[in-house]
Chain A
Amino acid sequence: EAQVTQNPRYLITVTGKKLTVTCSQNMNHEYMSWYRQDPGLGLRQIYYSMNVEVTDKGDVPEGYKVSRKEKRNFPLILESPSPNQTSLYFCASTSTPGQGNEKLFFGSGTQLSVL
């Protein structure tokens, strides 16, 4: 089954404790991206990757890191989480953006709480 898998589904942590949210897709997609969702603000893009070893900032990259060493994986790293990073996070992937009739496949989301 074609899917984007995010883990964990829920995460509670404390300020300053490094964490990683994993994202993996099995569709051989070149493009992967991360979003955070906050009430009243919709989804905002954190980082995206057009291919292996190619990453770029979205609209809200501060406080986050990503890496794309393999095509299928795109982890989101919070080196020193703060309470304002409490949010619902989504990973997504698609084959080649901009080629027409594209469809973004989303993971099931990670609800992060930073105390």
Chain B
Amino acid sequence: AQKITQTQPGMFVQEKEAVTLDCTYDTSDQSYGLFWYKQPSSGEMIFLIYQGSYDEQNATEGRYSLNFQKARKSANLVISASQLGDSAMYFCAMRELLQGGKLIFGQGTELSVKP
């Protein structure tokens, strides 16, 4: 069965520094997609980045990059040059493409950026 694990319930980072949020996954399928979402205190869910299992390059979107290590089944999110507005809950998620519409989320990591 597919599974997503985020082992860091909470993290602190100094403003302007980089931070890595961990995500490991478990699947027996070869085709899958990995996502990161941000949830600020306002509650909305904001898409950050997507990585397909067959993508050879790590995905990047502005200050966000996904450190994809397929053999280790990890998909860590790297945020460069942290800003105060990055303080939020971050969720990793996975879809096994052969499963169609099933999407599972990790438990989340709460990031706090200190000035």
Contact = CB atoms under 8 A, between A and B. Distances in A.
Interface of A: 31, 33, 35, 40-45, 48-50, 56, 58-59, 88, 90, 92, 97-98, 100-106, 108-109
B25 interface: no
A103 B47 contact: yes
Contacts of B100: 50, 56, 97-98
Given A33-B101, A42-B91, A50-B101, A106 B108 contact: no
Contacts, number: 70
Q: Which of A35, A42, A88, A104 has the most CB of B within 10 A?
A: A42
Q: Which 7 A-B pairs have the closest CB atoms?
A: A106-B45, A48-B101, A98-B97, A43-B105, A42-B105, A42-B107, A103-B47
A60 to B, nearest CB: 11
A6 to B, nearest CB: 11
B45 A100 contact: no
Contacts of A108: 43-44
Contacts of A40: 107
Contacts of B68: none
B102 A98 contact: no
Interface in B8-26: none
B101 A31 contact: yes
Contacts of B37: 104, 106
